[in-house]
């Protein structure tokens, strides 16, 4: 084929297959693994015929204004959340950020709502455009039965839930327990 320029598509990574054959790549990032610049080729043809020294064309790569996608991996162990040591807040600014937190299996290894909110606040202070937090349980360790499953009464189950997820203020706990007692009494009397 005697083409001066062959532009291929579908592959997201910009790459040159031969002197005149290119994948320009995608204009924007579609996956967190795509860290390279995104853009398009501006192709200028200077002559209608192919020249061996490629002087018949000019291929200029123009970067598109696409957001970075940053995936971070954190670990929650022994009651402590550890983010990567080399975390740079400038990398997160104006980026689409996804944090994957690995938590050991079992009810004693639960990332509380307060801890999750603290993590969100810390990351949002870097001004990302988007923030996703994904919590994964370590599949290597067998899951222990939850204290909620071991609790016998509704009150014990509620207290076990609060221990796992974070307790409301004491006055609210008392109101909820009083309401629970009323509901239990009404159900048992029928």
Q: Model confidence over 22-76: pLDDT tens digits?
A: 999 999 998 888 989 999 999 999 999 999 999 999 999 999 999 999 999 888 8
From the list 52, 54, 57, 25, the residue with the least C-alpha distance to 39 is 25
Pairing mode of beta strands 6-8, 21-23: parallel
Q: Under a CB-based contact definition with an 8 Å cutoff, are residues 9 and 19 in contact? A: no
State the burial class of residue 139 (Cβ atoms within 10 Å of its Cβ: 0-12, 13-18, 19+).
exposed
In this prediction, residues 95-114 reach a mean pLDDT of 82
Least confident of 35-44, 90-99, 149-158: 149-158
For the chain, the structural domain boundaries read: 6-63, 67-144, 146-190
The percent of residues above 90 in pLDDT, for the chain, comes to: 40
């Amino acid at each position: 084929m005697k083409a001066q320029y062959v532009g291929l598509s579908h592959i997201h990574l910009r790459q040159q297959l031969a002197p005149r054959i290119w994948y320009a790549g995608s204009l924007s990032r579609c996956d967190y693994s795509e860290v390279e610049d995104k853009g398009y080729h501006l192709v200028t043809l200077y002559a209608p015929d192919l020249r061996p020294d490629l002087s018949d064309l000019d291929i200029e790569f123009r970067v598109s204004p696409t957001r970075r996608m940053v995936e971070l991996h954190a670990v929650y162990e022994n009651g402590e959340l550890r983010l990567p040591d080399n975390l740079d807040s400038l990398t997160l600014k104006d980026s689409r950020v996804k944090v994957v937190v690995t938590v050991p299996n079992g009810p004693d290894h639960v990332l509380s709502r307060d801890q999750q909110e603290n993590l969100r606040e810390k990351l949002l202070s870097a001004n990302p455009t988007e923030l996703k937090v994904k919590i994964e349980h370590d599949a290597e360790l067998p899951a222990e039965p939850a204290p909620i499953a071991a609790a016998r009464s509704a009150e014990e189950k509620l207290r076990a839930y609060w221990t796992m997820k974070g307790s409301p203020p004491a006055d609210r706990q008392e109101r909820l327990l009083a309401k629970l007692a009323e509901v239990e009494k009404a159900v048992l009397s029928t």
